[in-house]
Amino acid sequence: MANLRRVTTITASLLALVAVAVAAPTSAVPTEGAEYVALGDSGAATTGVRNFDASAPLRCIRSTADTPKLVAQDLGLRLDDRTCSSARIPDLTTSQGPGIAPQFDALGPNTRLVTVHIGANDALMAEHIIACHATGVLGRACAGPSWDADIDGIAASYSTALRQISTLAPNAKVFVDGWPLYIRDGGCPEVVGLRPSDAVHVQAAFDRLNTVVARGAAANGATYVDTRTASEGHDMCAPVGVRWFDPVLATETLLPYHPTPQGMRGVADVIVAAVRASGKLG
């Protein structure tokens, strides 16, 4: 019974990974494209209960201080932030729900910069992570080979999306940011339910996802931005105020495995540095 109660507690906390809220109307579509368009899911959109953007569709749980907004401020660009929690690759071209336009609607000939952070939901990362935490408590094995297959399976649709961006925004430079370090080797008490070997397995899955999107970027004229290196020492096991992601028992955002304000700032710094180093925006 004690193990079952622990599973219930962990599962309740991790359900925030797949939570959906009611949608609200979105803004008008710019016909010529925004100067800077941010595309992606909750990894780019939200800091949970922190800095909540009431003007965005509620389902998107978008933050007023997410990575795209910080990038836009640093680079002095006008932003159309289309990132939205729970987004998958098909939501780039079709409506994610009532009041939410396809993310690609923001693209056009005036677009100079596009950042992309999407694919985790397509790879069923949340579902596999929840299973790893739960089975760890019960003493069973973490996710098996099916997780690798789910990650590898996004490659074709991801590459297709990058090619569509180039068509819709022919004058834009596209930057794809990967996933930072979530869990250090061996894990820690903050990642409740994960045995040391499972912590390695979960992080390896994120690293595999990075490999898939990096290959897609290289094959389709986009620039891949490595955020893992800069995030060393800022994983979920780091102290509050240092870590870039909230752990299972989230204290800052109420969304485990999602960026803290420090995480959004850290990723933004890496993206801004990559854009400036490229010299691609003049």
Q: What percent of the chain has pLDDT over 90?
A: 79
pLDDT tens-digit map of 157-207? 999 999 999 999 999 999 999 999 999 999 999 998 888 989 999 999 999
Between 17 and 93, the higher pLDDT residue? 93
In this predicted structure, the answer to whether residue 273 has a pLDDT above a threshold of 50 is yes
CA–CA dist 258, 201 (Å, integer): 18
Active site residues: 42, 258
At 84 the three-state DSSP class reads coil
| φ, ψ of residue 28 in degrees (nearest 5) | -65, 150
Q: What percent of the chain has pLDDT over 70?
A: 86
pLDDT tens-digit map of 92-136? 999 999 999 999 999 999 999 999 999 999 999 999 999 888 875
pLDDT for the residue 249: 87
The CB density around residue 272, as the number of other CB atoms within 10 Å, is: 19
On whether the CB atoms of residues 243 and 261 are closer than 8 A, the answer is: no
Q: Which of 213, 218, 221, 219 is nearest to 173 (CA)?
A: 221
pLDDT for the residue 139: 60
**Domains present along the chain, CATH in parentheses:** 2-278 (3.40.50.1110)
The CB density around residue 27, as the number of other CB atoms within 10 Å, is: 12
- Cα 120 from chain centroid (whole Å): 7
Q: Which token pair is 158?
A: 């991801």
pLDDT tens-digit map of 250-260? 999 999 999 99
In this predicted structure, the answer to whether residue 269 has a pLDDT above a threshold of 90 is yes
pLDDT for the residue 2: 44
